Amino acid sequence: MVNKVSLWMKIAYAVLFLFTLLSVLEMTRSDFGLGQNQRLFAAENPEVQKKNIFAERKDLLEEFALVSKIPWYELAAIDQYERSLISAKKKGTAQPQGLIAIQIPEAVWAGPLNPDQADTNPMSIAWFGGIGKDGSGDGKADRSNDLDLLQTMVSKITKSGNRDTDRQIGLWAYYQNTRSVQRIKQFSEIYKNLEKLDLFEHAFPLPLSADYSYRSTWGAKRGWGGFRTHEGTDLFARYGVPVRSTCYGIVELIGWNNFGGWRVGIRDLTNTYHYYAHLSGFAKNLKQGDIVKPGQTVGWVGSSGYGKPGTSGKFPPHLHYGLYRDTGLNEWSFNPYPYLKNWEREEQKNRTKSAPSA
Ligand SMILES: [Zn+2]
């Protein structure tokens, strides 16, 4: 009897010991393991966290591209266009929960007459004319699931087929807006060309080594070169100082305008239009549709404009730099001055950081 009890005690101790050992092992693995450590670091460091999000999103898009037979950069372009719509709206707009920013209203997802507007059943959603689809394969069509959102979007844009032109028509039918289709095409070109999602760095439009001066002239009665209300910042510099792209983007427009002279317009991935005017000339071979990087020379400071093509010298040489945001329906200009100050400061900081410490 005594022996029997001590045997049970031994077994109980052995089990307890094993449990303790296992949980210590588990703790060590999860708290101090490399993967977890990196995640902890990322949580404290927004820069790293952001980079991880770009990498995770690209993985997700590439996986889904294999399934849907649609290039990842096109899916990325739709996702980024939707993200730009969210940030263009007023503060307080719901931010996407997952990696994908596609936003589909409840009534469109579930069907306008669906009594259960939060319906996730693909069968009843389809029956009520909703567009929500199950892309994750869990049997649910969930508006907050990345794969379900992608699947739903893909089923809309491939309604009449999966050739390039079919998808163009599908996008038009979905957004009912030529500008949306153009933006998605532009974003798609940027991603295809640069092969990554992390494309939000900026550069100051003039080399910091050049002689230049600028101040906040936003809303001044008139600036130089015929802008009635001054929508931009004038950066004064000598003829021929390089004018550089401030962002990753695509050349949307290039050529002569009677006010702006030789000017170039570059669209970035936040759907912001960067406008450079009064140039003395453009970088060789630069044309509409070209992809540019921050710091890349696009032209040179001049005094062109305020007359017929080729007019020059009606005001001191300077770069007129303007910023315009597109909300999908309208476009408005905003003050570039604080951005310029910020980019200039960032570049100064990086310059001193990378300078040899001798
Ligand atoms: Zn100006």
Q: For 133-156, what is each residue's pLDDT tens digit?
A: 999 999 999 999 999 999 999 999
What CA dihedral angle connects 117, 152, 77 and 277, to 10 degrees?
A: -50
Q: How far is the CA of 330 from the centre of ligand 1 (A)?
A: 22
Q: What percent of the chain has pLDDT over 90?
A: 72
Q: How far is the CA of 257 from the centre of ligand 1 (A)?
A: 14
Using a 10 angstrom Cβ sphere, with 0-12 exposed, 13-18 middle and 19 or more buried, the burial of residue 27 is: exposed
Q: How far is the CA of 271 from the centre of ligand 1 (A)?
A: 22
In angstroms, rounded to a whole number, what is the distance separating the alpha carbons of residues 132 and 153? 9
Q: Which sequence spans correspond to the domains of the chain?
A: 48-104+143-194, 212-354
Give the three-state DSSP class for 302. Answer: strand
In 3D space, the residue among 249, 273, 285 whose CA is nearest the CA of residue 321 turns out to be 273
Q: Higher-confidence residue: 293 or 231?
A: 293
Q: How far is the CA of 298 from the centre of ligand 1 (A)?
A: 18
Q: How far is the CA of 277 from the centre of ligand 1 (A)?
A: 8
Average pLDDT over every residue of 325-351: 91
Tokens, residue 275: 């406008």
What fold is seen in the domain 212-354?
A: Glucose Permease (Domain IIA) (2.70.70)
What CA dihedral angle connects 131, 134, 139 and 142, to 10 degrees?
A: -70
Q: How far is the CA of 321 from the centre of ligand 1 (A)?
A: 7
Range of weakest confidence among 158-167, 277-286, 319-328: 319-328
